[in-house]
A and B are shown apart, each in its own frame.
Chain A
């Protein structure tokens, strides 16, 4: 649909006289991409390319053949095939970024992970033999688990009915859950932080608390769930 639409708009733009052509309020396209519609997303994971042919099912084989015929988009600048590039961490860095300062955002995130690791190693050395096994030292695992613990299961939607706007409980998509978890974490750290503490310090504290299912972010998630439970009566207002 995009290509014929583009053609129609271009034709319309050509037919109008030059001064009117410059700005067509109802007809300007907003969502368009420099890539055509046939371009596929790139697959960076090396393991995918190492699996032998025999290990694939029939469907996957036809998929592979089709892939050789279609053009692929260029990989983004923050994605690599190394084990150190993590899509969740990249997304989190982008959300932390202010004014395009990716260098600062990335340094904060790296320092946060370092701080988490330092805290955990300290705890490890101070703990007794039995407790040592249960202490998790890998900052990436802690980060992922903390975010997972912060994700709400159910969210609230504004639905207008009879002039009033009701908060209706509704299930959330995966993307939305991840976004809310990250957003709550970042806003929590930004707002309730002493002006003399560094962001990475505060973030590492919040992440460790979330990993243990405690702290303000988890509280906010529980508040959301309680609101949803309270508004259960309006659940039938949702039609999807």
Chain B
């Protein structure tokens, strides 16, 4: 156990030695001196010479796998089925850290996640570069642009041939782009292992869009889909609890909601008559303002279930409007168990199931408030 930990710490020393050139001042690691790049979350490779050799990375991977098996042994688990989550839990158990910054706590991850992807040396022994676009500075990006342009010309030639034969109208092959989006700038940078400017990125996307508009672009569908990312159906990300039943057989469901600093929990009962109790008090007394009561009613009114359900909720924190908003979210989430999936999707599109992320903006130094500046004095 000690040997594995020593190996982990020695490895980190090696990492920090390798990263001395890129270390940000005042950051923290295992050794509390330098940051590892996984912690900094930068995914772009170095634009300079190689910082660590391939042999070094291979050795790190071997050490990691060995250390993983030792750790599994230590924890009494099976080394073959020891996943990354188990590693994280084991490290959190063995090295309990009281540091507030999560990224400064001890981590043990696969070296490919720690060391950023970097390119091998771009020139040979005679110091002449391999790639013909090396001196542009962004060889992968410009070669990508050339490739896409070439494909565009190929598609146009194909179309001309079909048009000459008179078969263009029947052979239209378009790429289906619904349900996906173009790669973001960060994702493209990761793919090309190169830094891009905003202009570069927009040019690249424009070129790809132009390719997609051609009628016979289906020939290059595979290539284009490499630059598209699937969008997940938003509804699937929500977890809907099943209905629970109490002693009398009445169906009920609980939900939690929050807004600004308010936190609310609500229990919605079936076979009710539209009574709402908030913190032990009738809702008419708790919310004297009609706007707040309208917000409480909103999910029920949207689903046409006003007089059908009873609600008992507790809320704390915040002001009157944020408490009403928190209860609204809690009751909407509780109601999800009573209704069909389609209705849940309608509620989501009506904005009832989204947590409102707006919070009070912090005050900045040199200003009187979040936005208000001090009175400008000419002298």
Contact = CB atoms under 8 A, between A and B. Distances in A.
Interface string A73-87: 111011011100100
B289 A34 contact: no
A169 to B, nearest CB: 34
Contacts of A22: 364-366
B354 A73 contact: yes
Given A4-B185, A68-B233, A75 B291 contact: no
A80 B351 CA distance: 10
Contacts of B358: 34
B179 interface: yes
A207 to B, nearest CB: 21
Contact of B350 (A4, A44, A66): A44
Nearest to B201: A4
Given A4-B185, A4-B198, A68-B233, A73 B351 contact: yes
A80 B356 contact: no
Interface in A203-238: none
Contacts of B302: 44, 46, 81
Contacts of B21: none
A190 interface: no
A105 to B, nearest CB: 11
A117 interface: no
B354 A71 contact: yes
B348 to A, nearest CB: 6
Interface string B348-360: 1111101111110
Nearest to B299: A81
A1 B198 contact: yes
Given A3-B184, A68-B345, A103-B289, A23 B231 contact: no
Interface string B319-331: 0010011000100
B290 interface: yes
B234 A106 contact: no
Contacts of B201: 4
A67 B179 CA distance: 10
A14 interface: yes
A21 B325 CA distance: 36
B364 A68 contact: no
Interface residues of A, number: 37
B232 interface: yes
A46 B291 CA distance: 19
A42 interface: yes
A82 B19 CA distance: 60
Contacts of B294: 80, 82, 85
B350 A69 contact: no
A48 B37 CA distance: 49
B297 interface: yes
Interface magnitude class on chain B: 35 or more
Contacts of B345: 68
Given A4-B198, A75-B351, A69 B232 contact: yes
A66 B329 CA distance: 24
A7 interface: yes
B235 A72 contact: no
Interface in A135-192: none
Contacts of A3: 184-185
Contact of B349 (A14, A67, A106): A67
B156 interface: no
A102 interface: yes
B186 interface: yes
A57 interface: no
A74 B351 contact: yes
B24 interface: yes
B139 interface: no
Given A65-B178, A77-B324, A80-B297, A72 B351 contact: yes
Nearest to A103: B289
Interface string B261-294: 0000000000000000000000000000111001
A35 B295 contact: no
Contact of A42 (B231, B235, B349, B371): B349
A197 interface: no
B206 interface: no
A60 interface: no
B335 to A, nearest CB: 14
Given A22-B364, A42-B349, A78 B178 contact: no
Given A44-B351, A65-B179, A72-B351, 19 more contacts: A3-B184, A4-B201, A5-B198, A7-B185, A23-B364, A23-B366, A34-B357, A34-B359, A66-B179, A69-B179, A69-B231, A69-B232, A72-B234, A72-B350, A74-B351, A74-B352, A75-B351, A77-B295, A102-B291
27 contacts: A4-B198, A7-B186, A34-B357, A42-B349, A42-B350, A42-B351, A42-B354, A49-B350, A65-B179, A68-B235, A69-B232, A69-B234, A70-B234, A71-B234, A71-B354, A72-B354, A74-B356, A74-B357, A77-B291, A77-B295, A77-B324, A78-B291, A80-B298, A81-B298, A81-B302, A82-B297, A85-B294
Interface of A: 1, 3-5, 7, 14, 22-23, 30, 34-35, 42-44, 46, 49, 62, 65-75, 77-78, 80-82, 85, 102-103, 106
Ranked nearest first, the 4 interchain pairs of A and B with the lowest CB-CB distance are A42-B351, A75-B351, A74-B356, A74-B354
